[in-house]
Amino acid sequence: MSPFAEAVRSYRELSPWQVWRHGSATERRAIFGGWLLLLLLCMALGVASVKWSWSGLPFDIGGVTAYVTLYPPLPVCLLLSLTLGWWWGAVPAYCSTLALALYAGMPLQWALLFAGANPLGFAMMVAGYRAIAVGRDLRSLTSILFFAQLSFIGSIFSSAGALIWSYTNHLAPGAHLPIWQGWWIGSFLQCLLIGGPATALLWPRVARWQEAREALMRKRRGGSRYSVLRMLAAVAAGVLIYGYVTIHLAENEAAALPVFRQTVWIFYWVFAAIIVAIAFFGYQLFAHWQASTDGLLSELRRMNSDLERLATTDALTGLLNRRAADRLLDAEWQRARRSGHVSSLVLLDIDHFKQVNDSYGHPGGDAALRALAACIRSVMREVDVAARYGGEEFLVVLPETGREGAFVFAERLRERVAASEICHDGQVFRCHISLGIAVSDKHEASYEQWVRRADQALYRAKQGGRNQAVMGA
């Protein structure tokens, strides 16, 4: 997919309201039932993480102690946020964190605030995918790096909950760092090693289902420059928050110097990663501006409109061409057949058109065709559709029109053409037309039979002396 196509690709999220209104009974049971089961599972796993003390587990890496927190609900909720939409993952994340906080004895007002930590981190990740249209299948280096950087930013933002945990549990100064560092490192690793691969594995099926069930989606346009700028501001805020919290916690350690050195090195490498992230976002911003300027989008829409018009319009008369007429005939025949109502078809051509060409040349014949098209437009309704069906043959579809109405239309058109003067190269002449009329029949196998009956009626009009309208069988 080209960068431009990526930039304008829609970011789709599953709408609970649309699922309830337009989803099938099976889809509603599967989506809402499965989501509720996952919510309960996340709450149970959240409580388990406190009961079995999975927070701030120490790991020795090259003589440096790093802390990791295992939190099983996180990859589950991340998967829901990235595949279905932020709310689908944020609600289970909030409920599971609230459950573990209350189980641990945290005061209610603090627990309600504390529970928003992971939804905040998911919001940062979803905001990134809304800002820059990058695939969630993780099949390219760009998409993998993008996911890794968003995972890091989301983990830093969500780790604000560690400060509330430390404060409400009255931890000693030396115990703050393991909780906070364990939170963001654990979140980051679980995003990379579990949430990312699970999303990549499921995303092709999810994307195909979203395409097939477009009516259930809530659309948001990706690629807004303001969304990208907000993401850059969020990354910068992440740098400031991370640096402040890291240095502040390190200064409170009992053995200040060794811990401070470790922390400064961690801060150094994290700061380097953030700088890379900022550079990456800056590049994406530049590419986005190049690919999706308003002028380019406007030009693309104009070109698409021109291509559509050229593909469906007869250049000489401005009416529909035969390809477009066949599609419209089929659609009208199907509609009339389903509704039980009738529509009419009028097939007509210019009498003795060869003599017109012989007398006035092909430019004179073209003038006659343009004049006939103008006469058709002058007598048809807004709901009627006209087309040049081939050579000097024209076709008019009259929706919701029976035999009598179709015959009145045909006679009015015949009289209008007969009274119209055609001016070409200083000469004035008149033309006459013959018309065949056919009313739709729901028992016919296809619209071609409808056209055939109109053509047979036109043939009888020619045989009967021309300059007349004949009703088909």
Tokens of 24: 């099938």
* pLDDT band, residue 436 (cuts 50/70/90): very high
Provide the CATH number for the domain around residue 364: 3.30.70.270
% of the chain beyond a pLDDT of 90 = 38
**pLDDT mean across residues, the chain:** 82
User: Are 187 and 273 found together in one domain?
Assistant: yes
5: helix, coil or strand?
Answer: helix
308 in a structural domain = no
Domain span at residue 368 reads 313-471
User: Are 218 and 363 found together in one domain?
Assistant: no
pLDDT in tens, 341-396: 889 999 999 999 999 998 999 999 999 999 999 999 999 998 999 999 988 899 99
305 in a structural domain = no
pLDDT in tens, 89-130: 999 999 999 999 999 998 888 888 888 889 888 888 887 887
User: Are 59 and 138 found together in one domain?
Assistant: yes
- Domain termination residue (choose one: 233, 257, 292): 292
How crowded is the C-beta side of 28, counted as CA atoms within 13 Å? 9
User: Are 321 and 278 found together in one domain?
Assistant: no
Biggest distance spanned by C-alpha atoms of the chain = 112
Residue 157: its pLDDT value, please? 80
User: Are 98 and 179 found together in one domain?
Assistant: yes
Residue 128: its pLDDT value, please? 80
Tell me: pLDDT of 75 over 60: yes
- Domain termination residue (choose one: 244, 263, 292): 292
Tell me: pLDDT of 259 over 60: no
Q: Give the predicted TM-score (pTM) of the model.
A: 0.53
Identify which of 112, 124, 134 has the alpha carbon closest to the alpha carbon of residue 188.
124
Tokens of 314: 């007869």
User: Are 255 and 377 found together in one domain?
Assistant: no
User: Are 193 and 251 found together in one domain?
Assistant: yes
User: Are 285 and 147 found together in one domain?
Assistant: yes
For residues 267-277, give the mean pLDDT. Answer: 63
Angle between the N-to-C axes of helices 256-291 and 176-190, in degrees from 0 to 180, rounded to the nearest 10: 30
For residues 227-242, give the mean pLDDT. Answer: 58
User: Are 270 and 357 found together in one domain?
Assistant: no
297 in a structural domain = no
Domains identified in the chain, total number: 2
Which residues have CB under 8 Å from 53's CB, separation 6+? Answer: none
User: Are 130 and 261 found together in one domain?
Assistant: yes
* pLDDT band, residue 442 (cuts 50/70/90): confident
- Domain termination residue (choose one: 292, 326, 358): 292
% of the chain beyond a pLDDT of 70 = 81
User: Are 283 and 409 found together in one domain?
Assistant: no
pLDDT in tens, 298-313: 777 788 777 777 778 8
Residue 373: its pLDDT value, please? 94
For residues 432-440, give the mean pLDDT. Answer: 94
User: Are 197 and 345 found together in one domain?
Assistant: no
302 in a structural domain = no
